[in-house]
Amino acid sequence: MESVKMAQMACPFLARTPVSALRQMSVSSANSASMSACPHALPAHSTPVAASAGGVMASVRQAAAAASLLESKSNRVAASTSTSALFKAAQSCPVFGHALAVQSVRRLGARQFHSATMAHTASIASTSTEQDMGRVPPRPFDAVPKPHSKPASASKKAAGAAKGVTEEPAPGGFNYDDFFKEQLERKHKDKSYRYFNNINRLAQLYPMAHTGTGEHVTVWCSNDYLGMSKHPEVVDAMKSTIDKYGAGAGGTRNIAGNAQLHLSLERELASLHNKDAALVFSSCFVANDATLSTLASKMPGCVLFSDSSNHASMIQGIRNSRAQKHVFKHNNLEHLESLLKQYDLSTPKIIAFESVYSMSGYIGHIKEIAALAKKYNAITFLDEVHAVGMYGETGAGVAEYIDGMDEMDIITGTLGKAYGVVGGYIAASASLIDMVRSYAPGFIFTTSLPPAVMSGALTAVRHLKTSPVERAGQQLHTRMLKSTLSDLGIPVVPNPSHIVPVLVGDAETAKSVSDELLHRFKIYVQSINYPTVAVGEERLRITPTPGHGPELMDGLVGALKTIWTERGLKTEADWMREGGKAGVGVVGGEMDQLVRAEDLKDMMDRAYPYALDTLSGKQAVKSA
């Protein structure tokens, strides 16, 4: 009787079978049944009802008999060997087979379970090969189901029931599923629901990619700003490292995951930013969150001052610190100082801001904020995520370019954008780095980045320390695109950086324009909406790279011109008549590029064996 109850608990099919029938089946012969008759192993178009009664009943007898074998101590050894036909039959059922494995652990112990299932597990693992990846049907632009759509089949309901998910909550209980659907419906109604396109960037055809259908498109919005993800030196370094050290790091930095490559990369990053030390994290989101939350929570009475346009990672770190905070208006030094002066010099203070704000392209007031920090005894936290690799003589960021790096106390950066790999880091004094290393859960309790990633990042950082080629190409193409779009009246949010935001002003329209560029013109530019940008300031975010030469640029400009004309979208002049929006159409809103023309000319002269006809962006570069 115990085996019958066990079978009913393990298998949803047996759970619906009367106890009397199960009792009779548990003492019947199982040898006459075929393993393929298990109701859980039926083809997708079949159901237990449609299957022959004899086959279904036989499969139930197999499962019940296998459970009975486990009940008897004298038969437990036989049930765990490969000679047991009944055990093999029960294992063929994906539901009951799993239940048998669980029962084996509980009754026979982990050692016997390991020996009985090792061969079966190995055979499953051997089927996970590269060719399996190609069997996934291409579905790049499938519409996401609406929140209240019905399940595709009754089998999904049965699967949910098997996993303990109920369709209706108990009386008076919280309806979790309805809550999730309501939250999603809000996103759909305000047009802020996010759709992810299937984009597979091709290293040998950069900046091209293929969609899930294999169709080639040009990517114009990647954060692989300098194309370092496909750089031969980076790729070769990662390949050789994975051959030598394997795929994974093996543990946290404290347990087997602290390799020489991690230490070498941290020394290189500290040198890059002229700091005592550096610390690598799994991402810069984690770096920002962990550092701000750790420092502000540990320093007694600490007060945080955060720019209103700061990235979500910094906002999260400030929230997690539970310290007192003030949000100052974006790039508004007067507002910041009015807040700082409210506190005594003895009060610990952190000013957190960015060098390049990635959705607008604006540049933070680095030297001015450093002066305020010194005046009011605060420390500075500068996020250079969208600047490292791209600005400065060695690629250390905007602070290096304007000669303000030594005035920053903490600099954070990423390895996943201009450096083309993945990961984040902070650079600061030795004591501050050691404190974060010793107290930050986001650093301590997570597996460290794999050696191959460390090797690729280290190679990219060293390359961009000396090479001006990639920075020159990016800056040149940015100038060319901004100038051309401006001449056509297409509304580019004015800014001094490498970001080219094209203002649309409506979430649904921005998404529609992005879709048309992709499907009609084979150009991928992601639309950006709330909460990343304010409502009414929705935009396309374009990021020219060294690989986006004149021919590709002509294609993008032509596509945007066609869409703006056919749809009658607002031009720069239209926004001006309405009083301006997001800096577009504002009198006196024009901005010079941060990288001066003479500096770009110098980079070009050092980078290429040919000269420029002009830096205006109107003519292509001629070969020498």
Q: Which residues are catalytic?
A: 417
CA distance 292 to 349: 11
Where b means 16+ CB within 10 Å and e means fewer, 591-604 reads bebbbeeebbeebb
Where b means 16+ CB within 10 Å and e means fewer, 221-253 reads bbebbbbbbbbeebbebbeebbeebeeebbeeb
CA distance 185 to 152: 19
Give the E-state strand segments of 148-219 in sequence order: 200-201, 208-210, 216-219
Closest CA to 384 of 311, 475, 471, 478: 311
CA distance 622 to 543: 23
Q: Please provide residue 541's backbone torsions phi and psi, each rounded to the nearest 5 degrees.
A: -110, 110
Are the C-beta atoms of residues 90 and 1 closer than 8 Å to each other? no
Helix (H, G, I), strand (E, B) or coil at 214: coil
DSSP string, 499-533: -EEEE---HHHHHHHHHHHHHHH-EE--EE-TTTS
Report residue 590 as tokens. 């024009």
Distances (CA, A) of 136 to 140, 175, 208, 212: 11, 34, 22, 9
Which DSSP state fits 325?
Answer: E
Please name the residue that has the structure tokens 């031009």.
Answer: 571
Report residue 601 as tokens. 């000319």
CA distance 596 to 37: 75
Helix (H, G, I), strand (E, B) or coil at 447: strand
